[in-house]
């Protein structure tokens, strides 16, 4: 049975959900989603572990007054409040992956392992886009400039759900509707304040010794695929896995496969500890 919580961090009340008992596994959502992107994974992982997911500031059901804040401090507040004093495996997608990496550098004692799906990395090189993707990025900036939220939402679905070089609507049905609903909340959210986590991690990946699995889709942005490979090969205990036929959000496209990969990684971490 799942339970919901409000975790205080600064002037934010972070909406969190916990399912199951055992070793803690914390899920960190992408910047175009909220904790609902992990529904299938929470259900699967929570069968044998303490699965935790929360909405960051500006997303989902979290309420936050505008203030300069640290997303890593927010994550650590969730771990301290809900992980029962144990180090957690962090599962992060995109921006969630960046926060997980930053946390592993800031407080490694709280991180038992990392599953990173198409992770961003603080201090990473500037991205370059293929011409087709560059056109979509321009459309997105134009929509955002005039506060055309529905249009911006549609372009983001094309970029992050379908894949920047794929036809619009490649991913239909409930997954698309969920994406549009999650991102619509983020687009309507008022400013939450500046991010205080400015220390770059890109050149410090070799310091992260926790067992790690980096996953990416072969339909994602080319530079994200390249970056994911770099992260996997630079961390001392990193491993890599490319999923075929998916873009930036495989937990929405292939939820059962992602649940299986995360569960297998948790089992490996548990066996190595015994």
Residues 143 and 245 in one domain: no
C-alpha to C-alpha distance for 82 and 85, rounded to whole angstroms: 8
190 pLDDT tier (thresholds 50, 70, 90): very high
Residues 146 and 10 in one domain: no
Residues 137 and 20 in one domain: no
Chain segment 82-110, per-residue pLDDT in tens:
999 999 999 999 999 999 999 999 999 99
C-alpha to C-alpha distance for 97 and 30, rounded to whole angstroms: 8
C-alpha to C-alpha distance for 115 and 212, rounded to whole angstroms: 6
Residues 226 and 96 in one domain: yes
State yes or no: pLDDT of 216 exceeds 70: yes
Residues 162 and 222 in one domain: no
The share of the chain scoring above pLDDT 90, in percent, equals 98
What CATH code is carried by the domain that includes residue 71?
A: 3.40.50.1820
- What local confidence, expressed as pLDDT, does residue 273 receive? 72
215 pLDDT tier (thresholds 50, 70, 90): very high
- What local confidence, expressed as pLDDT, does residue 135 receive? 96
State yes or no: pLDDT of 274 exceeds 70: no
Please state which of the ranges 103-107, 156-160, 209-213, 270-274 shows the lowest mean pLDDT: 270-274
Domain hosting 209: range is 2-126+192-273
Q: Give the residue-averaged pLDDT of 189-216.
A: 97
**Domain count of the chain?**
2
Domain boundary (188, 208, 231) is at: 188
Domain boundary (188, 218, 234) is at: 188
Asked if 110 contacts 103 with a C-beta cutoff of 8 angstroms, the reply is: yes
State yes or no: pLDDT of 1 exceeds 90: no
Asked if 183 contacts 144 with a C-beta cutoff of 8 angstroms, the reply is: no
Residues 44 and 65 in one domain: yes
Nearest to 42 by CA among 2, 83, 86: 2
Residues 147 and 42 in one domain: no
Q: Give the residue-averaged pLDDT of 143-156.
A: 97
- What local confidence, expressed as pLDDT, does residue 139 receive? 97
Please give the C-alpha separations between residue 241 and each of 90, 166, 229, 233, 244, in angstroms, as whole numbers.
Answer: 17, 21, 9, 11, 10
Residues 111 and 211 in one domain: yes
State yes or no: pLDDT of 165 exceeds 70: yes
Chain segment 40-83, per-residue pLDDT in tens:
999 999 999 999 999 999 999 999 999 999 999 999 999 999 99
Residues 262 and 198 in one domain: yes
Residues 153 and 25 in one domain: no
- What local confidence, expressed as pLDDT, does residue 164 receive? 97
Domain boundary (150, 169, 188) is at: 188
């Amino acid at each position: 049975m799942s339970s919901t919580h409000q975790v205080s961090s600064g002037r934010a009340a972070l909406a969190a959900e916990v399912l199951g008992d055992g070793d803690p596994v914390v899920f960190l959502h992408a910047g175009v989603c909220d904790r609902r992107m992990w529904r299938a994974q929470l259900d699967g992982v929570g069968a044998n572990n303490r699965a935790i997911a929360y909405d960051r500031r500006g997303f989902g059901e979290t309420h936050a007054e505008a203030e300069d804040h640290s997303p890593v401090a927010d994550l650590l507040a969730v771990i301290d409040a809900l992980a029962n004093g144990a180090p957690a495996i962090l599962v992060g997608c995109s921006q969630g992956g960046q926060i997980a990496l930053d946390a592993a550098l800031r407080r490694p004692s709280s991180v038992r392992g990392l599953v990173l799906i198409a992770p961003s990395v603080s201090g990473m090189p500037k991205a370059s886009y293929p011409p087709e993707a560059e056109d979509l990025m321009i459309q997105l900036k134009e929509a955002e400039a005039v506060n055309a939220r529905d249009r911006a939402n549609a372009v983001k679905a094309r970029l992050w759900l379908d894949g920047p070089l794929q036809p619009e609507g490649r991913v239909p049905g409930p997954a698309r509707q969920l994406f549009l609903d999650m991102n619509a909340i983020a687009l309507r959210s008022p400013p939450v304040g500046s991010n205080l986590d400015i220390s770059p991690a890109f050149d410090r990946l070799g310091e992260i010794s926790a067992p790690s699995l980096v996953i990416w889709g072969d339909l994602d942005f080319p530079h994200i695929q390249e970056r994911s490979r770099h992260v996997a090969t630079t961390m001392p205990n990193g491993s890599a896995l490319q999923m075929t036929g998916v873009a930036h959000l495989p937990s929405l496209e292939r939820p059962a496969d992602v649940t299986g990969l995360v569960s297998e990684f948790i089992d490996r971490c548990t066996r190595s500890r015994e």
